Every structure is written in C-alpha cells, then in structure tokens.
Amino acid sequence: MDTWQSRFDRIDIRFTSWMARYGVLMLRLSLGTVFFWFGVLKFVPDLSAAQDLALRTIDQLTFGLVPHNISIVTLAAWECLIGLGLILGLYMRVTLLLLWMQMLGTISPLFLFPAALFIHTPGVPTLEGQYIIKNIIIVAASIVIGATVRGGKIVASTKETPQ
C-alpha cells in the first residue's frame, strides 16, 4: 500500500541524494565565485567596501612596512587565486591553505579594531563587523570542501523513514 509517508520518503531520498551528489560542487563553485569577485573588486581603488579595513589591518600586521598599493594588490591577487582554485578545483590543498591563511588575516580586526567593528562591544556589530563575522560560514564551508580532497564523499541514506 502506497502511503503519503512512503511517497514522501521516495521524494526525500531522491532530493537528498541529489544534494549529496552536487552539494560540495555547488559549495566550491559559489565560494570560489565570491572570492574571485571580491578579489577583482580590490584591484580597482575604492570599489571594495572592505578596502579601508583591509589596508588598516595589513598595515597593523606588517608594522606599516608594506605600502598600501602593494598590500591591496597582493590581497586582491591572493583572493582571486583562491577563487580560481575553488572554481577550477585545482590544487585544492594549497587553495584551502591560502583560504585559511586569508581567514586568519580577515578575523584579526576583531582583536585589532574592536571599537570599529561593534556599536556596543560585544554583540552589536557594525557593517564591517558583520562582514568579518560571516566568515564563520566560509571557514565551515571550506572544512566541508576540505573533507573531500582525498576522495571523501557525502552519501545520502537511502533508508526510508520507519513507519
């Protein structure tokens, strides 16, 4: 007898199987697109909303030894390289290492400039603070992608829900 539950289970199994098959690829492509896009924006002066914060952060981390024109172009190229690595699926270990190193730099303003990132410290982030905090998702996504670089797969269960 075909019940609503068994019909739902068949549809759910097909859908979760599709997500398991294509989810990591879609995650990698979307993350790569965001990195490449944001990297390209940094090549054009004053086009990136994160440019000022990025320059102040790099200035602090390098003790002012790297000129702004070099640091922003380096960051732009770094982000584009991460983006291309993710989009093309090339050199994934190196790409993810570059991503995680970039994330360390990206979260450093939380410690270097907390007053600029929170309206009421802590808890109410400014727009720049929100820009940094959302990177938690990027780190989690990169961990999922990283779990597949040695052939790991996400596999959907094909068991139907018990009746």
pLDDT in tens, 78-130: 999 999 999 999 999 999 999 999 999 999 999 999 888 898 766 899 988 99
Domain count, the chain: 1
94 near 149, Cβ under 8 Å? no
> Residue 4 above 70 pLDDT?
yes
Query: Length of the chain, please?
Result: 163
The pLDDT of residue 1 is: 60
Confirm whether 88 is domain-assigned: yes
Confirm whether 160 is domain-assigned: no
Average pLDDT, the chain: 91
Name the phi and psi angles at 125, rounded to 5. -75, 150
Confirm whether 68 is domain-assigned: yes
- The angle formed by the CA atoms of residues 144, 148 and 152, to the nearest 5 degrees, is 120
> Residue 146 above 70 pLDDT?
yes
The pLDDT of residue 120 is: 78
Confirm whether 52 is domain-assigned: yes
Confirm whether 79 is domain-assigned: yes
> Residue 162 above 60 pLDDT?
no
Confirm whether 37 is domain-assigned: yes
The pLDDT of residue 157 is: 77
The pLDDT of residue 102 is: 96
The predicted-structure confidence for 28-41, as pLDDT tens digits, reads as follows 999 999 999 999 99
The pLDDT of residue 2 is: 74
> Residue 148 above 90 pLDDT?
yes
Confirm whether 157 is domain-assigned: no
Long-range contacts formed by 55-58: CB under 8 A, 24+ apart? 56/109, 56/112, 56/113, 57/105, 57/108, 57/109, 57/112, 57/113, 58/105
Domain carrying residue 45: 17-146
Confirm whether 5 is domain-assigned: no
